[in-house]
Amino acid sequence: MNKIRIVGGNKLTGEIKISGAKNSAVALIPAAILCDEDATIYNVPNISDIDALNEILEYLGAGVKRDGETIKIDSSSIVNKKIPKGISKKLRASYYFMSALLGKYKKVEMYFPGGCSIGARPIDQTLKGFKALGAKVKEDGDKYTITADELKGGYVYLDMPSVGATINTILVAAKAKGTTIIENAAKEPEIVNVATFLNNMGAKIVGAGTSQIKITGVDKLHKCVHEVIPDRIEAGTYIIAGALIGERLKISNIITEHVESLTSKLIEIGVKIEEGEDYVIVSRADNYKSTNIKTLGYPGYPTDLQQPITTLLTQCTGVSEIEETVYERRFQNVEYLNKMGAEIKINDNKAFIYGPTKLKGKSVTATDLRAGACLVLAGLIATGETIIDNVDHILRGYENIIKKLGDVGAEIELLDI
């Protein structure tokens, strides 16, 4: 089993180049099967979630050519087969195949998706989107059989701005007959990246990135090339690393607007940040002030950076408060931060962080992807050695994290025990 060993205290200086966005790439790859010819996607991160999706593509008979960060997908010869439970459960994004196959073949059989255990994560809003377009959903335990005699444009008012439900409804609506309106849509940049990809194939999608999206179905989607946007959550994680122990640490190849909710918070705390065209330079400063954070959908503060910033809040003077409004179980990192010397109390969906506290290296566990990232950040500043186990969670979502941090001065290694 893989573990990560970190000896804390080294200043981080130099440049970290950000990879393509995991949460965009994992939607673009399934969306590619809607294309009646081949689709080429650039800047795809080399992480295990992508491998899992390529496994599904190959299982369906698609041609997948991977060359570094470029993937060429030819779906002209795919066959619509039931996707086995084991593959469906590997990641949350497997359910994008549910909508892509439904959109392409009007029938799909697969299982409830996997993903980090940070809450119940139902898919009721995705199913609501499918039904609004004329699909019938048969549930048998966690197996779903979804069919439609015809997919017709419909009206969907999402109960909450769900990223997955927004993308899934777009994928089914792209080739449906007529026009679909999604109200209360999620506005994440990854949704815009997916909509642009489909429009490059000839789809007719307007309003992605706003709370109302209109999709006019088309018959054919032709070949296209597209690029994954930079990963704003990876970028945010390393920007926080710079705030913790950076000395003019440059985080480059980013879209600064996508991390604004974080950088504005960091400036409030007292972090020194210089912003360029497609980069930021971050340095650790002294006397950080506590602050309050409430996680919201984009452009609010992202839930995926809630656990990473908790490490920084342990270094702020005073009591910081985090209100987690998106997931019901996203504080599993706190137990391990407290084991390292932090002072954090949880009350329902709020965490209270008393700082500053000195962190000491300990053996800890990554319970989910972003909790793991939080513990890596803690290891970078803790005195002594931190050993993190269960790190496959981390390797799913952060391309080359060991090399990226090692190259800027961290004493970090992957232990294959």
Which residues are tagged catalytic?
116
- Burial letters 257-279, b for 16+ CB under 10 A, else e: ebbebbbebbeebebebeeeeeb
How far apart CA 112 and CA 98 sit, in angstroms, is: 10
Near ligand EPZ by CB under 6 A, which window of 56-64, 157-165, 242-250, 255-263?
A: 157-165
Instruction: For the CB of residue 168, give the shortest distance to ligand EPZ in the complex, in Å.
Output: 9
Which CB sits closer to ligand EPZ, 60 or 91?
Answer: 91
> Could you tell me how many residues of this chain bind ligand EPZ (CB under 6 A)?
26
Near ligand EPZ by CB under 6 A, which window of 59-67, 115-123, 198-206, 337-345?
A: 115-123
Instruction: For the CB of residue 167, give the shortest distance to ligand EPZ in the complex, in Å.
Output: 7
Is residue 304 a contact residue for ligand EPZ (CB under 6 A)?
Answer: yes
What Å distances lie between residue 42 and 67, 115, 231, 355, 398, CA to CA?
10, 24, 13, 43, 17
- Contact pattern from residue 158 through residue 187 relative to ligand EPZ, giving x for each residue in contact according to CB under 6 A and a dash for the rest: --x-xxxx--------------------x-
- Contact pattern from residue 51 through residue 90 relative to ligand EPZ, giving x for each residue in contact according to CB under 6 A and a dash for the rest: ----------------------------------------
Closest residue to ligand EPZ, based on beta-carbon distance: 164
Start-to-end C-alpha separation, the chain = 5
How far apart CA 146 and CA 142 sit, in angstroms, is: 13
- Contact pattern from residue 18 through residue 47 relative to ligand EPZ, giving x for each residue in contact according to CB under 6 A and a dash for the rest: -----x--x---------------------
Instruction: For the CB of residue 357, give the shortest distance to ligand EPZ in the complex, in Å.
Output: 25
Which CB sits closer to ligand EPZ, 32 or 273?
Answer: 32
Instruction: For the CB of residue 43, give the shortest distance to ligand EPZ in the complex, in Å.
Output: 17
Among 397, 398, 399, 412, binds ligand EPZ (CB under 6 A): 397
Q: What 3 state SS string does the chain have? A: CEEEEEECCCCEEEEEECCECHHHHHHHHHHHHHCCCEEEEECCCCCHHHHHHHHHHHHCCCEEEEECCEEEEECCCCCCCCCCHHHHCCCHHHHHHHHHHHHHHCEEEEECCCCCCCCCCCCHHHHHHHHHCCCEEEEECCEEEEECCCCECCEEECCCCCHHHHHHHHHHHCCCECEEEEECCCCCHHHHHHHHHHHHCCCEEECECECEEEEECCCCCCCEEEECCECHHHHHHHHHHHHHHEEEEEEECCCHHHHHHHHHHHHHHCCEEEECCCEEEEECCCCCECCEEEECCCCCECHHHHHHHHHHHCCCEEEEEEECCCCCCCCCCHHHHHHCCCEEEEECCEEEEEECCCCECCEEECCCHHHHHHHHHHHHHCECEEEEECCHHHHCCCCCHHHHHHCCCCEEEEEEC
Near ligand EPZ by CB under 6 A, which window of 124-132, 146-154, 274-282, 374-382?
A: 124-132
- Contact pattern from residue 244 through residue 283 relative to ligand EPZ, giving x for each residue in contact according to CB under 6 A and a dash for the rest: ----------------------------------------
How far apart CA 177 and CA 19 sit, in angstroms, is: 37
Which CB sits closer to ligand EPZ, 197 or 288?
Answer: 197
Q: Could you tell me the two tokens for 331? A: 């504080």
Instruction: For the CB of residue 372, give the shortest distance to ligand EPZ in the complex, in Å.
Output: 10
- Within 83-102, the residues that bind ligand EPZ by CB under 6 A are 92-93
- Within 181-220, the residues that bind ligand EPZ by CB under 6 A are 186
- Within 318-337, the residues that bind ligand EPZ by CB under 6 A are 326-327
Among 14, 84, 86, 122, binds ligand EPZ (CB under 6 A): 122
Among 16, 116, 182, 240, binds ligand EPZ (CB under 6 A): 116
Among 37, 124, 139, 142, binds ligand EPZ (CB under 6 A): 124
Among 50, 62, 110, 123, binds ligand EPZ (CB under 6 A): 123
Residues of this chain that bind ligand EPZ (CB under 6 A): 23, 26, 92-93, 116, 119-126, 160, 162-165, 186, 303-304, 326-327, 369-370, 397
